[in-house]
Amino acid sequence: MLNRAIKRFWDDHRGYVIALTLIAMPMLLGFSLIVIDVGRSANLHSDLQNAVDAMALAGARELDGRDDAISRAEAAIEKLANTAAFGQGGEGMSLGSYITVSYDSGDAAASTVTVQFLKGIPGDGTFAGDDDDPITAAMVTTDPSEAGYAWVTAKDQALQTIFPVPVGLDRDTINVSADAVAAYRVSACDVTPIFICNPYEPAGNSSAAVSEQAAELLHTKFGAGDLYGLQIELHSTSSSNPGPGNFGFLRTPLGSGASVLAEALATGNPGTCYTKDNLDTETGAKAGPVEAGVNTRFGLYSGSFKSARNDGRYRPASNVRSAQDQTGGASKICGDYDPVMIGSAVGDVTKAVPLGYGATMTTMGGGKISTGNNWNYGTYWNVAQGGTAPSVTAVLSNSSSYPGGGASTPSQPSTYDVYRYELNNPSLISHASANGEKGTPGTGGQCYTGPELSNYTADEYGDRREIFSAIVNCGYEASQGHLNGHKATQAVAFARMFLTKPAIKAGSERYLSLEMIDITGKGGRGTLDEFLREEAELVR
């Protein structure tokens, strides 16, 4: 009887599920809490990551190499505040806690993040390695001219767990953090498809360290005012190894060949934006068509541009005084550049002289550069306008391209500032030199016959005697095989240049006569900002 009762009890499975459920419930509850904690930590990490991503991007956007780049970057990061849920606090099951992710450059303790600036990261060409390698102290910089990356790291945030087992019975928090690195990227739009060689790079340089020093010297000298009023003659070359004193061409996506390049030089529209770290050069001899394209900016229509004189895209600048010979009628005056000359010097004080006249030049590789702001301002003014030249103060109070970093104001104005002074005084543009040349472009015949120049305001369309080019350490880039076309050539800066004369034929070459008005990056005046497309990109 007893055995039968025991067997009945043993074989009776009623309530079995309830028993198993009661046994398994603590385990199921634990796993549920673990899943909740994992989700909460993922949410917190996601919030922190979004916050540091936004901060790094905002900071990197300001790292343009100018002297105040880091202070501007810190100010941009300080303006951002993000909410991160489930951070410090939240007792037990109180899941509604949150923190504000913010940065205060003057109070590290109060900041939720740390911010550092980098001159390079592993594998970017500055430092060896790859993306998996850690960032080291050697990569951190406080120099605004070196900073190219913003590195933002969220401080560890203690997430209070609901279930303590995953982190040990004696702890009930998980530390959650995130970091982001963003890089500054810049490209220039509506840039004349020209690159010029850095005049401060030693000829034949193949050293990356020397290349970096040459770039620094360019920025330092410009910021100090040492390039103010300096006259530069740059010769074209079909060589893939140009150097100081040379200029070359950038490829356009509009097509290949000299005529396409000349079109882009004439209009200032290359059909693309050029990225500072990835320029594509155009090789080959293209001097003739290029000369014709550039010179439309002075109202000179030759070669394939003879029929372009009625098109506003090829309009001349409002002031084209360049010592052009005035004999032979409109077809001669507005055809090839045929300056009055004495020997090999452009200009004749008894007839007409161009801006930049009389500068003492020295050899610079394939070209020339003046020894200082020593062009003959007084002679130019007497020949072009008559009388005594205006004072430096008078000219610079109208327009000043002087960077202001020098020890004192310049001894005389640059050609560009004199040009701007003439533009703001119409009677000066219409005044004739001894040979009859005026600043006002000729009209009729072979001269410009398109829409009125007054339709084209400087603010909307820019000045046709200004070109915008890349500056390249040609020696180093050539040593790396980057100037052969279709290669990632790097620019050390973009420059705003003033054409003091039309392009001049010199044997089989052409040369451009220029004055540097501004550059991007350290020491620059910021006037190229309207042509730049500055972006930040997350790289880590």
Q: What is the rounded distance in angstroms from the CA atom of residue 138 to the CA atom of residue 127?
A: 9
Res. 239: pLDDT tops 60: no
> What are the pLDDT digits (tens) for 184-205?
777 777 777 888 888 888 888 8
Res. 237: pLDDT tops 80: no
Answer yes or no: are the C-beta atoms of 424 and 416 closer than 8 Å.
Answer: no
> What are the pLDDT digits (tens) for 325-339?
999 887 889 998 999
pLDDT at position 461 is 59
Q: What is the rounded distance in angstroms from the CA atom of residue 159 to the CA atom of residue 85?
A: 9
Mean pLDDT of the chain: 80
How far CA 24 is from CA of 34, 110, 168, 230, in Å, comes to 16, 46, 22, 86
pLDDT at position 417 is 95
pLDDT at position 78 is 86
Res. 208: pLDDT tops 50: yes
Compute the C-alpha angle 274/278/280, nearest 5°. Answer: 75
Task: Name the band, by pLDDT with cuts 50, 70 and 90, for residue 32.
Answer: low
How far CA 32 is from CA of 36, 38, 210, 230, 455, in Å, comes to 6, 10, 62, 75, 73
Res. 143: pLDDT tops 70: yes
Res. 370: pLDDT tops 50: yes
How far CA 251 is from CA of 195, 273, 291, 484, in Å, comes to 10, 11, 17, 11
Q: Of 16 and 54, which is predicted with more confidence?
A: 54
Res. 510: pLDDT tops 80: no
Average pLDDT over residues 507-519: 83
How far CA 230 is from CA of 215, 373, 376, 506, in Å, comes to 18, 5, 12, 21
Convert 423-483 into a string of H (helix), E (strand) and C (coil): HCCHHHHCCCCCCCCCCCCCECCCCECCCCHHHCCHHHHCCCCEEEEEEECHHHHHHCCCC
Q: What is the rounded distance in angstroms from the CA atom of residue 459 to the CA atom of residue 258?
A: 30
The fraction of the chain above a pLDDT of 70, given in percent, is: 79
pLDDT at position 117 is 92
**Full-model pTM:** 0.76
Task: Name the band, by pLDDT with cuts 50, 70 and 90, for residue 36.
Answer: low
Answer yes or no: are the C-beta atoms of 325 and 292 closer than 8 Å.
Answer: no
pLDDT at position 389 is 94
> What are the pLDDT digits (tens) for 386-440?
989 999 999 999 989 998 765 578 999 999 999 999 999 989 999 999 999 999 9
